[in-house]
Structure 1
Amino acid sequence: MPSAAPGGTPSSNERLILAVDLGTSGCKCALVSLDGNVLAWTFRPIALHLVGELGVEQDPQDWWHAFLDGAQELLGADAGRRKRVVAVCCSTFGECTVPVDEQGHALARAMLWVDMRGAEAIRRRARSGRLNIQGYGPLKLARWLRLTGGAPSLSGKDSAGHVAWLYDHQPALVERTCKFLNALDFMNLRLTGRFCATHDSALTTWATDNRDLSRVHYDDGLLRLLGMAREKLPDLVHSTEVIGSLLPAVADALGLAHDTKVVAGSVDNSAAAIGAGTVRDGALHLYLGTSSWLGAHVPTKRTHVSRFIASVPCAQRDRYLAMAMQTTACGNLSFLRDRILFHADELHVDDPRSDVYPLLDRIADRVPPGSRGLTYLPWLLGERTPVDDGHLRAGLFNLSLEHTREDVIRAFLEGVALNTRWMLEPMLDFVDGKRSPGITIVGGGGQSDVWCQMIADITGMAIQQPRAPIQANALGAAFIAAVGLGELSFHDIPALCRPRQQFEPRQTTRTLYDDCFATFKQLHRQLAPVYRRVNQHRSAAR
């Protein structure tokens, strides 16, 4: 059955957006009113496929079937809802690549944002002779930074690396490919029949000139650097553009009108920034999902090379989104649950232990701040900001016989919060030194009152918790659709995103957590060379 959502009951004639939030773990569908009230939502899990040591894939058909199944359940629960849906809009994960033919059929499974098969292929394209800067040829790096704001990941995890690998290892498939699409582009293709990409979904091809937001375009020089053919990339559109109406077969399958509009939408970090209500310049949001990021809108394109922070195109036509990325956040809790507390095979959907996170909250809340001297380093998959180091790994420091499982649980939560403070320091400097009065937390981790208070105490900043943090991406997609339809402006959105509660930092913990943070940074300084030596010849973490 669809899950009910907090908020009032809308009038029977209120128009609705069918919002789609496609994440790595599954697909959420939500019915959202134009004023931001989420009536109900559904979730369908999606399987991962591991290929060799470095490949991670999903079947795009699984995305589509998960969407159809969830949306049909959502709409079928109330026939009156179908008549009130005026638009469909998607938010999806990014850094993903699907090769499709002229009819839009996927020619292979999608390479995901954790797929690193393209590492060597993109490194060959990025470097130049003997003189290189962090693995990039100086002139190549300067061009990428000047035009795009960033550069291809040398881990091969983004679209540039995926396409490079396909060109090098699957030339026959490349020959048959009409377009390389991101997940958002694929969903929009299946909804409307149109090949297109938004400015943010196309970003990690690292082939677009983003200096002027009114004319973002593919750059011929960047395409030559990457060895990509322009005709194999989709045309670019704004996130708020109405890209068409539902294909008749899709409309009929969902019981929706054939003139139901489809708005282009955005990738997840853009949607989360909108769904959090943080649309004003410098307003910070923290997404706590499997991975994590800090984001804030800014008026200009900038890049902080040494701290790995950049501002990139987003859902707002006249703004960039400054982004600081961290590799693993709630993924540490999944690891704790599945690898330490339980074996994954012991957890089933109907088993109460499958939703152990509220229990972990209660246990952590019984342990005093500081976890009795225990420090957790949450680098299960390396780190991206404020250091880009794939050799880093997680660990518990200062573990002794006096510690218990309860201390370990709290240390895991505190470790992610300390990592967030580590990322926050350069981010505050990046957004023109404006110290935001607080941070809005969205994503699954934002549901935890204990974690929100902990992050407030550790960062020293007020934490705002929305009414439904886990629905922020779907809410963002709905707001983007409403703007595209002319029903809202982005300036209207903060007033529609009323927080459920605010957590203020407690002065009683300030000195303790300052000491903990100093220890955290010292551990990184002293252990980073050890991690590099130990892991330099090991396969990259997946």
Structure 2
Amino acid sequence: MVAKDWLRGTLTGTWAIDATDASGTYLLDVRNRNWHEAWIKMLDMDITWLPPVRESSEIVGEMVKGPTVFRGLPVVTGAGDQAASAVGSGLQPSELGLSLGTSGVLFWVLDRFSLPPHPSVHAFCHAEPHSWHWMTVTQAAGLSVRWLRDVIYSGADYASIDQEAAQVSPGSDGVLFLPYLSGERAPIRQPNARGVFFGLDSQHTRPQLARAVLEGVAYSQRHCWDTMKGNSDGMRPSRVVLTGGGSRSGLWSQLVADVLALPVLVTEDPGAAVGAAWLARNALMGDVAAYPRRTIAEREPNSLTAGEYEDVYARYRRIVAHMDLLWGSR
């Protein structure tokens, strides 16, 4: 059982798992949203070890333990954190979700199942019925900026970092940052990857490093998006819905718009808990209404800057390819 399923089972006496978390076990037939019996048999596992798979907004029991005032309340299955967060941000199939937290998560909702073009892209059931999602996760999005603050800025506030980075022109005067401070999951799948500042000379100072870190994380998300969409002409998002702590930075959200060459909608980020509560609301109301999100800001890509970033991003990709040869030799 996943932790939430153990807790729910303890409170309700009902054994179950939702399709989003079941997707992460590699034992689920994700297309059909149930256990892959043939695969489980090949692994010499007993399928009775596994709980029934239920939908995230399905009522699976009622409270039989805990405070008396809560006894008898209906309880829904719930969802994994990223799927619940997508519900809480009101993400629609035509939108690309991007969460800039400690990690960076790209989230694309699908109305029918299909295999992704690359093994670094997860294909999971979504928390809403009859929907799926593709997802990539990078290890050090906001973590890279926190490292920059703690090590180079001696704990200054993030607004100060933004102010200095904004003084530097796009491309950081030739400095590039690879945000691989904890290895990397997507799209390079390289646990030996390490962070890199490339192109430093004696004229570069702290502001160039600050902007390079913000740009480097944006390039890594562009790299994930290019990998996720592959050669598909059908993956043309109307906009990026940006959440997470990094979305509070006006400079960084504009960088994302320019590097991805897509409009960015910055929304209030209610978190996964609100998404889970909204799933419970939908279960009780019997519908699948979208969460009423609140818009904080809208960013349009600057065509001139976006064109400059195309050239720098191509250089970023070349450096990553060359560095991968070194990381692989460790």
- The normalised TM-score by structure 1 is 0.57
**Which residue among 284, 290, 295 is the counterpart of 1:499?**
295
2:304 aligns with 508
Deviation for aligned residue 1:475: 2.8
Alpha-carbon distance in 2 for matches of 1:450, 1:231: 52
2:234 to 433, 440, 444: 433
Contact 2:140-2:182 within 8 A present in 1 as well = yes
Provide the residue aligned with 1:184 in structure 2: 4
Aligned residues: 330
Structural mapping, 1:255-294, within 5 Å: 256-279=69-92, 281-294=93-106
1:82-132 Cα distance to aligned partner (Å, 9 max, x none): xxxxxxxxxxxxxxxxxxxxxxxxxxxxxxxxxxxxxxxxxxxxxxxxxxx
Q: State how far apart, in whole Å, the 1-side matches of 2:4 and 2:179 are.
A: 30
Q: Give matches, 1:341-420, under 5 Å.
A: 341-342=153-154, 353=155, 356-420=157-221
2:63 is aligned to 246
Query: Match for 2:112 among 300, 313, 320?
Result: 300
Task: Provide structure 2 residue ranges, at least 5 long, that are not aligned to the other structure.
Answer: none
Counterpart residue type for residue 530 of structure 1: L
Partner residue in 2 for 1:147: none
Q: Deviations over 1:315-366 (max 9, x none)?
A: 1111111223323211212333345544xxxxxxxxxx5x833332333223
SS at match of 2:276: helix
In 1, Cα distance between the equivalents of 2:273 and 2:298? 22
CA distance in 2, matches of 1:378, 1:336: 11
The partner residue of 1:424 within 210, 222, 225 is: 225
User: What is aligned with 2:273?
Assistant: 474
Structure 1: stretches of 5+ with no match in the other structure:
1-180, 343-352, 536-542
Q: Residues 187 and 358 of structure 1: is their aligned pair in 2 closer, same or farther, counting only changes over 3 Å?
A: farther
**1:218 matched to 2:35:** yes
1:232 maps to: 49
| AA matched with 1:485 | L
Q: Secondary structure of the equivalent of 2:71?
A: coil
Question: Per the alignment, do residues 189 and 443 of structure 1 end up closer, same or farther by CA in structure 2, a change over 3 Å counting?
Answer: farther
1:483 corresponds to 2:303: no
2:72 maps to a residue whose letter is D
Q: Partner of 1:387: helix, strand, or coil? A: coil
- CA RMSD in angstroms, aligned pairs only: 2.3
| Residue 518 of structure 1: how far off its partner (Å) | 1.1
Q: 2:283 is aligned with what amino acid?
A: G
Q: Distance in 1 between matches of 2:3 and 2:233?
A: 33
Q: Which amino acid aligns with 1:240?
A: S
Higher RCO (CA 8 Å, separation ≥ 6 residues): 2
SS in 1 for 2:296: strand
Instruction: Call closer, same or farther: CA 1:439–1:196 in 2, change over 3 Å.
Output: same
Q: Matches of 2:189 and 2:42 in 1, distance apart?
A: 23
SS at match of 2:17: strand
Instruction: List 4+ stretches of structure 1 deviating above 6 A.
Output: none
2:25 corresponds to: 205
Q: Secondary structure at the match of 1:502?
A: strand
Identical amino acids, percent of aligned pairs:
28
Of residues 258, 265, 270 in structure 2, which corresponds to 1:464? 265
| C-alpha separation in 2, matches of 1:293 and 1:307 | 16
User: Could you say what secondary structure the match of 1:483 adopts?
Assistant: helix
Asked whether the 8 Å contact 2:116–2:228 carries over to 1, the reply is no
Question: Any idea what SS the aligned residue of 2:255 has?
Answer: helix
Following superposition, the deviation at residue 199 of structure 1 comes to 0.9
Name 1:318's counterpart in structure 2: 130
Deviations 1:170-224 (A, max 9, x none): xxxxxxxxxxx21221332344343321111122221122222xxx332333224
Secondary structure of the corresponding residue to residue 195 of structure 1: coil
Tell me if structure 2 keeps the 8 A contact 1:184–1:201.
no
CA distance in 2, matches of 1:241, 1:529: 48
The DSSP-based 3-state class of the residue aligned with 1:392 is coil
Distance 1:193 1:333 in 2: 44
The change in CA–CA distance for 1:274 and 1:401 in structure 2 (over 3 A counts) is same
User: Residues 123 and 133 of structure 2 are in contact (CA less than 8 Å); yes or no, is this contact kept in structure 1?
Assistant: yes
The offset of 1:461, in angstroms, is 0.6
Query: How big is the shift at 1:396?
Result: 0.3
Does the aligned pair in 2 maintain the 1:296–1:431 contact within 8 Å?
Answer: no
Partner of 1:158: none
Contact 1:374 1:397 in 2 (8 A): yes
Paired residue secondary structure (1:493): coil
Name the CA shift for 1:432/1:193 in 2 (closer, same or farther; >3 Å): farther
The one-letter code of the counterpart of 1:321 is H
Question: Does residue 452 of the first structure (1) align with residue 253 of the second (2)?
Answer: yes
Distance 1:227 1:367 in 2: 59
Which of the residues 517, 520, 523 maps onto 2:313?
Answer: 517
After superposition, the Cα gap between the structure-2 partners of 1:330 and 1:227, relative to the gap in structure 1 and judged at 3 Å, is farther
Contact between 2:11 and 2:65, CA under 8 Å: does it hold in 1?
no
1:395-445 deviation digits (Å, cap 9, x = unpaired): 100112211122212211110001111111233457752311210011222
Deviates more, 1:327-336 or 1:410-419: 327-336
Deviations 1:134-186 (A, max 9, x none): xxxxxxxxxxxxxxxxxxxxxxxxxxxxxxxxxxxxxxxxxxxxxxx212213
CA contact (8 A) 1:453 1:505 kept: yes
Q: Which residue does the alignment assign to 2:144?
A: 332
